[in-house]
Amino acid sequence: MTRLLSPHDVAEAARLLRAGELVAFPTETVYGLGGDATNDAAVAGIFAAKERPRFNPLIVHVPDTVAAKSLAIFDARATLVARHFWPGPLSLVLRRGADCPVSLLASAGLDSVAIRVPAHPLALELLRATERPLAAPSANRSGRVSPTTAEHVMTELRGRIAAVLDGGACRVGIESTVLDLTSERPVLLRPGGVPSEKLEALIGAIATTAADAALRSPGMLQSHYAPHLPLRLNVRDARPGEALLAFGPDPPPGFAEIRSLSERGDLTEAAARLFALLRALDRPEFTGIAVMPIPEHGLGAAINDRLRRAAAAR
């Protein structure tokens, strides 16, 4: 049985996590499926609950930079980026520290660890109360649409985890940017809540990873974030029985149902609504989900990354 905990139940959520149980909790991006990152059994439980491929690493959440530096090696770039963007929707892939207690399973056996300080008061309260780093991928079955409310988590993982800490709807609604700083040149592994333009303004040019590169972070599988229905991208006309995920003020006619990411073409609003609306349209009465073009800049890059993975061959 999965319990739904209120924001007043942080102490109980922390107790469950210290006991090796799994508890989903809100962040500003999406809900994370939390487990004690130092507990191999708890980390294995995350993979089992999500039915997640073992080679896809997990992001470890900590309450502050001091805690992060106890797990990984910070160079000048990492320190600078953390100072500007933490707490916030940015995960850093760094070399593991010599005494890093994080389970190797959480890093998929790699010599690196992905770390983030979330910008959500309830998440930070939980991390401080637990006094453990928490491995916390999105709280959904692997490859499915990420959850942005406690109800989404219950739909996906009811009966598979101990509890869900309900903190309301997520503000950003799209996962964190993942930046790899393990080599001389920074590499963007996943676009997300912090646009790459802001990172480049701080630390210079950032490379992008090849689609078939070794998986050093979550969110790099080609078929990922996928609804049950087929997804058709950059659509301007309707096919029979399709639902439309619209963007902007003038959606084309002829669709069985239309939901708008943002009628005014606001990428921040679109990011916050993306996963919830994909879920809302993922219904058997439709033949598929069509998506209007999304601009490829700022948060649009992250939105399009999710949509391309959701539309990939399965």
Higher pLDDT, 83 or 47: 83
- pLDDT of res. 44: 87
> Whole-angstrom distance between the N-terminal and C-terminal Cα of the chain?
31
Residues 6+ apart with CB under 8 A from 126: 10, 13, 14, 17, 23, 25, 34, 134, 165
**Domain closes at, from 193, 208, 223:** 208
Say whether pLDDT at 53 is over 80.
no
Q: Which of the four pLDDT bands, split at 50, 70 and 90, describes residue 275?
A: confident
- We report the CATH number of the domain holding residue 184 as 3.90.870.10
Instruction: Mark whether 36 and 184 lie in a shared domain.
Output: yes
Residues 6+ apart with CB under 8 A from 225: 143, 144, 145, 146, 219, 275, 278, 306, 307, 309, 310
Closest by CA position to 116, among listed 56, 162, 58, 174:
58
Instruction: Mark whether 256 and 122 lie in a shared domain.
Output: no
Let me know if residue 73 belongs to a domain.
yes
Say whether pLDDT at 220 is over 60.
no
Instruction: Mark whether 65 and 172 lie in a shared domain.
Output: yes
d(CA 177, CA 195): 7
**Domain closes at, from 208, 239, 265:** 208
Instruction: Mark whether 37 and 91 lie in a shared domain.
Output: yes
Query: Over the chain, what is the mean pLDDT?
Result: 92
Let me know if residue 304 belongs to a domain.
yes
Instruction: Mark whether 165 and 290 lie in a shared domain.
Output: no
Q: Given the structure tokens 């001389």, which residue do they identify?
A: 184
pLDDT one-digit tens code per residue, 227-272: 899 999 999 999 999 999 999 999 999 999 999 999 999 998 998 8
Say whether pLDDT at 203 is over 90.
yes
Instruction: Mark whether 137 and 273 lie in a shared domain.
Output: no
Closest by CA position to 225, among listed 137, 118, 308, 296:
308
Let me know if residue 107 belongs to a domain.
yes
Instruction: Mark whether 81 and 178 lie in a shared domain.
Output: yes
Q: How many domains does the chain have?
A: 2
Closest by CA position to 43, among listed 113, 163, 138, 135:
135
Let me know if residue 214 belongs to a domain.
no
Q: What is the mean pLDDT of residues 163-173?
A: 95
List the domain range (segments joined by +) for residue 275: 231-311
- pLDDT of res. 211: 47
C-alpha distances in Å from residue 271, one per residue of 56, 65, 171, 302, 314: 23, 26, 9, 8, 24
d(CA 57, CA 211): 16
Let me know if residue 216 belongs to a domain.
no
pLDDT one-digit tens code per residue, 92-125: 999 999 999 999 888 877 889 999 999 999 999 9
Q: What is the mean pLDDT of residues 120-140?
A: 97
Say whether pLDDT at 90 is over 80.
yes
d(CA 260, CA 249): 9
Instruction: Mark whether 173 and 250 lie in a shared domain.
Output: no
What percentage of residues in the chain have a pLDDT greater than 70?
94
Let me know if residue 72 belongs to a domain.
yes
- pLDDT of res. 219: 56
- pLDDT of res. 55: 58
Instruction: Mark whether 184 and 257 lie in a shared domain.
Output: no
The angle at the Cα of 157, spanning 281 to 40, to the nearest 5 degrees, equals 135
Instruction: Mark whether 31 and 141 lie in a shared domain.
Output: yes
Let me know if residue 10 belongs to a domain.
yes
Q: What is the mean pLDDT of residues 145-167?
A: 96
Say whether pLDDT at 222 is over 60.
no
Let me know if residue 222 belongs to a domain.
no
Instruction: Mark whether 66 and 133 lie in a shared domain.
Output: yes
- pLDDT of res. 212: 45
Closest by CA position to 296, among listed 308, 311, 288, 278:
308
Say whether pLDDT at 216 is over 70.
no
Instruction: Mark whether 196 and 243 lie in a shared domain.
Output: no
pLDDT one-digit tens code per residue, 284-310: 999 999 999 999 988 898 789 889 988
Of the given ranges (130-144, 192-206, 293-307), which has the lowest mean pLDDT?
A: 293-307
